């Protein structure tokens, strides 16, 4: 087997997937109650943040109502205006201050855990009483300290960390969908009608 695949297998086996599934169940309840998910990252992590929000607004595993989820980097006019006027570090944090409400959730993706704009977003979220979950690499980092909870991927290569993050995003979405369908009979009728296929 190729060494990269060996590392990937090893990293997957050491990752706290149960926590991500629990996040999914909790996130479903937040979203069904009218809350919102925000996601942020840079580079490949930004792409994965947008992948996550697309799966929730669209669909992941079968029909259900659309769920509110926003990838902060995808707001390009806002992001570039904020970066121009306030600096790139504040690009995500200022958007959260505009849109987030207590009880919402922010998912932060960073292989290094050192991205200043992602750490600043987590700090802003804490001030706003927004729950913060991090997907990051193995080492201690500023992002770990800034977030309420984290799942760390124990791998040396950033590419492996990102690959595991994508698996975790899919697990999160699967758990959200399962919880949405499980609770379809306990949510208000207007919501239940949208949730059921």
Number of DSSP helices (H) and strands (E) in the chain, helices first = 9, 5
Q: Is 70 exceeded by the pLDDT of residue 64?
A: yes
Q: Model-level pTM?
A: 0.91
pLDDT tens per residue, range 39-59 = 999 999 999 999 999 999 999
The structural domains of the chain, ordered by start, are 3-195 (3.40.50.10490)
Would the CA dihedral through 77, 50, 184, 128 be positive or negative? negative
Residues 130-167: pLDDT tens digits? 999 999 999 899 999 999 999 999 999 999 999 999 99
Q: Provide the CB-side half-sphere exposure for 97 (13 A, CA).
A: 12
| Separation between Cα atoms, residue 90 and residue 73, nearest integer Å | 12
- Got the DSSP string for 47-114? HHHHHHHHHHHS-SSS------EEEGGG-HHHHHHHHHHH-GGGHHHHHHHHH--TT-EEEEEESSS-
């Amino acid at each position: 087997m190729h060494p990269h695949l060996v590392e990937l297998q090893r990293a997957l086996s050491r990752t706290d997937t149960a926590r991500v599934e629990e996040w999914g169940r909790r996130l479903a309840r937040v979203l069904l109650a009218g809350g919102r998910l925000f996601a942020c990252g840079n580079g490949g992590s930004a792409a994965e943040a947008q992948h996550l929000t697309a799966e929730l607004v669209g669909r992941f595993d079968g029909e259900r109502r659309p769920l509110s989820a926003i990838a902060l980097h995808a707001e390009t006019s806002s992001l570039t205006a904020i970066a121009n006027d306030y600096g790139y570090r504040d690009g995500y944090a200022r958007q959260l201050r505009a849109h987030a409400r207590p009880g919402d959730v922010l998912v932060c993706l960073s292989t290094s855990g050192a991205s200043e704009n992602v750490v600043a977003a987590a700090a802003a979220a804490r001030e706003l009483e927004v729950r913060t979950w991090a997907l990051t690499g193995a080492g201690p980092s500023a992002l770990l300290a800034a977030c309420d909870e984290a799942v760390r991927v124990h791998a040396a290569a950033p590419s492996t960390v990102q690959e595991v993050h994508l698996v975790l995003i899919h697990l999160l979405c699967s758990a959200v969908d399962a919880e949405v369908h499980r609770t379809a009979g306990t949510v208000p009728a207007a919501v239940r009608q949208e949730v059921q296929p």
